[in-house]
Chains A and B, each alone.
Chain A
Amino acid sequence: MANNGHPILTQTVDEDGRIVQPFVRTENLQALPPPSSLVGPVAWMREHLFGSVFNTSATILIVLALLWIVPPFVDYVLIDAVFIGKDREACIFNEAHPIVGACWAFIGSRFSYFVYGSYPIAERWRVDLFFVILSISIIWMMRLSLPRRGLGAIFSFIIAPVVSFILLSGSETLGLPVVTTNLWGGLMVTVVVSSVGIVFSLPIGILLALGRRSKMPAAQAFCVAFIEFVRGVPLITVLFMASVMLPLFVPREFEPDKLLRALIGVAMFASAYMAEVVRAGLQALPKGQYEGAMALGLSYSQMMRFIILPQALKVTIPNIVSTTIGLFKDTTLVVIVGIFDFLRTIETARIDPIWSAPTISSTGYVFAAFFYFIFCFAMSTYARRVEERLAVADKR
């Protein structure tokens, strides 16, 4: 038989003379597991904890340090802590409890002071209502999936501030007794200062950023001078300026009250930083967006409102949130002009003789640390989420 180029399979014949088909594999074999030295907890530990001499010693040192720090901290915060008590008697060292951890009873008894300052007790529902309004605007602005966000912006940046102002400071015509700002304090002031900062700094910052990028020399010079000046000096000096110099610059009858001066200082400071954040967003837009808008015959304000700002602000959200975190932390500095913010109420309460006990100061600071950390960490987590979400949109 002629072989037409086909490979000849060697045929095997078994004992009975029958032809046995050669073995041909039709299915893949199952893959072998990787060597045991590369998988499983042992290999993971070798890779991530004990890779080299340096790694191993770092691991051991850290475990020792954690053992040294964490149990005493837990003891302090929970096990040895005092939860119930009326005054310092509960938290001083004596025979009954030779070791005293955090004195949470102190925080509990001064809690309303930390939240409302010296705001009249009968009127505190107004502050609560303010917190509710604020939460609504924050959630409306921050959840990008909620409907009617344009209305939300109007609510957060116009309606809510006006309503909150009337609510907090009072108005005789509406039957709300006037509460002067020297009674305001605590968390409420921290929140008022940071929200005023953000409500004013965002629009002013956008205007400054547009001014800085405009081709009008006078407008540009003014914006550059303002931004560079404010960013070049510490917030404390801006606050000093607002509290000491500002009253000199206005006629006597318009002299602003202490809180208003601090708010002006904070708003100025935040605007300059916000302007730079927005400017970065504007610069990130490709030139074609501007040119396209102009080619369509849009006017400057139409171009900005419909084409440029929506895109620029979208990519800027994470940075706006980080600026807000900075602003929230910086509100602690208003103490310098005599305003009782959250941290100041803790400073005042911790040296109160009624609660004079060894662990009061550290308890106060641990509480403040928890408070600021939770708020700022939540905001930075939010910023990170938005950033990831925007990155997904860019990947398409």
Chain B
Amino acid sequence: MSSDPRLIDGEMAPKVSPWRDPRWRAYAFQAALVAVVGFLAFSAINNAAENLKRQKIASGFGFWDTNAGFPISFSIQYYSEATSSYGDAFWVGFVNTLLVAGIGIVLATFLGFSIGLARLSKNVLVAFLARWYVEFMRNMPLLLQLFFWYNAVLKALPSVRESLVLPLNSYLNNRGLTVPKPQALPDMDWVYASVIAGVISSLIYRHWARKRQEATGQISPVGSVSFALVLILPVLVFVLAGSPVKFDVPQAGRFNIVGGMVLQPEFLALLFGLTLYTAGYIAEVVRAGVLAVSKGQSEAAYALGLQPDVTNNLIVIPQAMRVIIPPLTSNYLNLTKNSSLAVFVGYPDLANVFTGTVLNQTGQAIEVISITMLVYLSISLTTSAFMNWYNKRVALVER
């Protein structure tokens, strides 16, 4: 007996017309789809070639090495209007995007976790405040918030001559925040070395402690030892090496502030806006994650005699993190993508430098926009590939 009911006398009987056969229909549909997409792509390329020729726009990536000739207001690597190329401008924009996104992610994580936990607080005032923070941040466009920070707050600050003097010799005015600039002396290398040594030794200690606990059941004070190795050791070395950091302290002159490091209002507005906005979303993610761990888990842990902090560390947090991390990553990605709103406040990130100035100067829309999209796309795809791997690793193994 054969399993295929369409087999009669060992031969496939033409029971249905190809028109009604799902297999043939699938082929026909896909062929049509490929034809339509192919035709659209073909005519788009044709039209583009014709339009570019008519508008006398060059094509290809030859512009990459030509001199850019425009200034960039903020860069942490070397960039000069006179000698740098469009390629250099691209790297400046790329690094600036990573810089604001990186700092923003760290700050938004801290703020978001605090607010998310505050929403679960027993203290009604704390919970109330956290709730309305989240509502306000999530229900107003990020662009409005950026405009508010940039135009209504940072640009409305007093002029340089009437700078607000903040603690630690910092000055705040409408040209930004000037803070002392730390400069490492040669002995600082010892401190860096001690940080690395501290991290490595704490990892080794953690590994050893876990082995010992598995073998003998004895629990080692991993938390406090790691804390001592990673934080106290470098501080000790720092003091022993004679505090090898010199501060370039800003001085208020008559017309200007001399020295120090200026954090521009464009950068600050973007950082504030991104951090506060994303923290609202992260707070919701954290709250949902903690609530997703059923109460029975912590009750069972208490019934087993575990202390509250052990319960939190070993039972609740690991299970909550399983729920928290995937949406958390997508919020990190959103923050990175939203950093392209730098265009509106004039911070020279990738979108601003490349799809803004470079596009205007070269007119090579297709190349410039493709490169920009490719960069964001590869950041996103790398992150989601990592996420998929992580999800597989922590997913519940169901029997």
Contact = CB atoms under 8 A, between A and B. Distances in A.
Contacts of A325: 139
Contacts, number: 144
A218 B341 contact: no
Interface residues of B, number: 53
A362 interface: yes
A-side interface size class: 35 or more
Most chain A CB inside 10 Å of its own CB: which residue of B147, B338, B341, B343: B147
A248 B52 contact: yes
Nearest to B352: A236
Contacts of A236: 340-341, 343, 351, 355
B30 A216 contact: yes
B34 interface: yes
B122 to A, nearest CB: 6
Contacts of A323: none
Contacts of A109: none
Contacts of B136: 373
A248 B363 CA distance: 12
A248 B50 CA distance: 9
Interface string B40-52: 0000100110011
A53 B125 CA distance: 15
A222 interface: yes
State the 8 A-B residue pairs at the shortest beta-carbon distance, nearest first: A232-B380, A376-B139, A218-B30, A249-B44, A329-B141, A234-B337, A234-B340, A244-B365
Nearest to B140: A372
A306 interface: no
A258 interface: no
A251 interface: yes
6 contacts: A51-B123, A58-B123, A216-B26, A216-B30, A329-B142, A372-B144
Interface string A20-52: 000000000000000000000000000111010
Main secondary structure of the interface of A (DSSP, over half): helix
B306 interface: no
Interface string A223-236: 00000110111111
B241 interface: no
B129 interface: yes
Interface string B227-264: 00000000000000000000000000000000000000
A240 interface: yes
B24 interface: no
A343 B29 contact: no
A237 to B, nearest CB: 5
Contacts of B372: 237, 240
A49 B373 CA distance: 50
B151 interface: yes
A249 B122 contact: no
A296 to B, nearest CB: 16
B152 A237 contact: no
Interface string B138-169: 11111110011001100010000000000000
Contacts of A217: 30
B141 A332 contact: yes
A248 B365 CA distance: 9
A62 B372 CA distance: 44
A49 B121 CA distance: 10
A388 interface: no
A232 B147 contact: no
A233 B376 contact: yes
Most chain A CB inside 10 Å of its own CB: which residue of B141, B351, B380: B141
Contacts of B37: 222
Interface in A352-380: 361-362, 365, 368-369, 372-373, 376-377, 380
Given A59-B126, A218-B34, 8 more contacts: A48-B123, A49-B125, A215-B26, A232-B381, A240-B369, A248-B47, A347-B147, A365-B152
A84 B190 CA distance: 67
Interface string A243-273: 0110111111000000000000000000000
Contact of A380 (B121, B138, B142, B151): B138
Most chain B CB inside 10 Å of its own CB: which residue of A222, A248, A325, A380: A248
B139 A372 contact: yes
A372 B351 CA distance: 26
A248 B51 contact: yes
A369 B135 CA distance: 12
Interface in B369-399: 369, 372-373, 376-377, 379-381
A63 B125 CA distance: 8
Given A58-B123, A217-B30, A248-B365, A361 B156 contact: yes
Nearest to B27: A216
